[in-house]
Amino acid sequence: MRLWRGKVAKYIEEKLGSGGVVHFSLVDPAKIDLAKLPKLAEELAEAGTDAFLVGGSLAVSESDVDVVVEGLRASALPVILFPGNVNGISRKADAILFMSLLNSDDVYYVTGAQVTAAPIVRRYGLEVLPTAYIIVGYGGAAGFIGRARPIPYDKPELAVAYAIAGEMLGMKFIYLEAGSGAPRPVPPQTVSCVKKSLVRAKLIVGGGIRSPEIAEEIARAGADIVVTGNVIEDDVSKAKRIIKKVKEMGKGGQGSKA
Ligand code: 1GP
C-alpha cells in the first residue's frame, strides 16, 4: 500500500520515455458500482492500463474517495486523485493531479480551492503532479461546476495559449478536457497544436473517448496520456479494447505514434 508515493511522476516519465503512450482509467466514486470494483481494477490492469484516476465533479465525498481508492488496491497500479474540489482528496491515494482550471472565470477554481487543499495535501503526504486543467468544447459537469469558459472546438490557438501559459507557470502536466461524456472529444487538431507547443510538459487528453479508433486518433495527434472514464462503466470490454489500442501505439507496430 502506498508503495507508489513519490514515484508516480517517474513511473509515467519512464513509460513515455520508452516511446509509449500512457493510459489512465478514470473511476468516478459517484458512478461506480463498488461491489464490482476490485474485479474491474484487476481486469483493467490486465488489459494494460497504467494507472487509475479517482474523482468526479458532483456528489463525491472524501469518504467515497477513500473507499474507491481502497477497492482499486486490488490491482498493483498507482492511484492518482483527480479532484473536482477539496472534497476529492483522500489520504489513501498515491498522488494527486494538483490542478488549476486555467479557463475558469471563477478565481476559486484557479487558485482558491488550491489554497484550501494545499495544507491537506501536504499533511497527507500525497505526491503532487502540478496540472493545468483546460476545458474544451462541451465541458460537461466539470465545465459547468468549474465555471469554465470552454475553448471552442475550432480555436486550437486558444488552447495553445493556455497550454503555454500553464507550462510557463510551472505545470508539469497539461490536461485538455472535453468533459466526461462529451459527445465530441478534444479535436485531434487541437491535441496536435498543443503538443507541438509544449517544451517539457506532458499532455493528458480526456472526455468523450469511447472507441479504440478515437483513442488512436487522439494518441496519434500527440497525447502522451489518454484518459477514459464512462466507457469503463458502460462497456468494460470496449474499455479494454481502447486500452490495448493505446498501449499498442508505443510498440513501434502499425499503430505506433508518428
Ligand atoms: C476524463 O472526464 C474525462 O478527462 C472522462 O471522460 O467519461 O467521457 O471518458 P469520459
> Is 67 within the bounds of a domain?
yes
Q: In this model, does residue 86 exceed pLDDT 60?
A: yes
| Assigned domain for 14 exists | no
Q: How far is the CA of 208 from the centre of ligand 1 (A)?
A: 6
Site to substitute for ligand 1 among 27, 133, 180, most atoms within 8 A of C-beta: 180
Of the candidates 83, 182, 90, the residue with the CA atom closest to the CA atom of residue 139 = 182
DSSP of the chain: --TTTTTHHHHHHHHHHTT--EEEEEE-TTT--GGGHHHHHHHHHHHT--EEEE--SSS--HHHHHHHHHHHTTS-S-EEE--SSGGG--TTSSEEEEEEETTBSSHIIIIIHHHHHHHHHHHHTPEEEEEEEEEBTT-HHHHHHTTB-PBPTT-HHHHHHHHHHHHHTT-SEEEEE--TT-SS---HHHHHHHHHH-SSPEEEEESS--SHHHHHHHHHHT-SEEEE-HHHHH-HHHHHHHHHHHHHGGGTSTT---
Residue that wins the pLDDT comparison between 107 and 3: 107
Only one residue has cell 495553445, namely 160
Query: 38 CB less than 6 Å from ligand 1?
Result: no
pLDDT for position 255: 45
Question: Is the Cα dihedral 121, 29, 249, 224 positive or negative?
Answer: negative
* Mean pLDDT for the chain overall: 94
Domain extent for 170: 24-247
CATH code of 124's domain: 3.20.20.390
Tell me if 13 is assigned to some domain: no
Distance from the first to the final alpha carbon of the chain: 37
Helix (H) or strand (E) holding 22, with range, is: strand 22-27
What confidence tens digit (pLDDT) does each residue in 121-139 have? 999 999 999 999 999 999 9
Contact 150, 104 (CB under 8 A): no
Pairing of strands 173-177, 127-135: parallel
- Give mean pLDDT, residues 156-185: 98
Residue 218 within any structural domain of the chain: yes
**Phi and psi angles of residue 96, each rounded to the nearest 5 degrees, phi first:** -140, 135
Q: Is residue 206 part of a domain?
A: yes
Please indicate, yes or no, if residue 18 is contained in any of the structural domains.
no
Which pLDDT belongs to residue 258? 47
Taking 70 as the threshold, does the pLDDT of residue 237 lie above it? yes
What is the band of 254 on the pLDDT scale with cuts at 50, 70, 90?
very low
Q: Is 238 in the pocket of ligand 1 (CB under 6 A)?
A: no
Residue 73 lies in a domain: yes
Distance 227 CA to ligand 1 centre (A): 6
pLDDT value, residue 2: 66
Single pTM value for the model: 0.95
- Does 208 contact ligand 1 (Cβ within 6 A)? yes
The predicted-structure confidence for 195-217, as pLDDT tens digits, reads as follows 999 999 999 999 999 999 999 99
* Binding site membership of 226 for ligand 1 (Cβ less than 6 Å): no
- With respect to residue 16, please indicate whether it lies within any of the assigned structural domains: no
What average pLDDT does this structure show over 2-21? 92
Pocket test for ligand 1, best of 134, 176, 230, 232 (most atoms within 8 A of CB): 230
- Mutational pocket test of ligand 1: of 228, 235, 236, the residue with most ligand atoms within 8 Å of the beta carbon: 228
- Tally of structural domains, the chain: 1
Please tell me if the CB atom of residue 25 comes closer than 6 angstroms to any atom of ligand 1: no
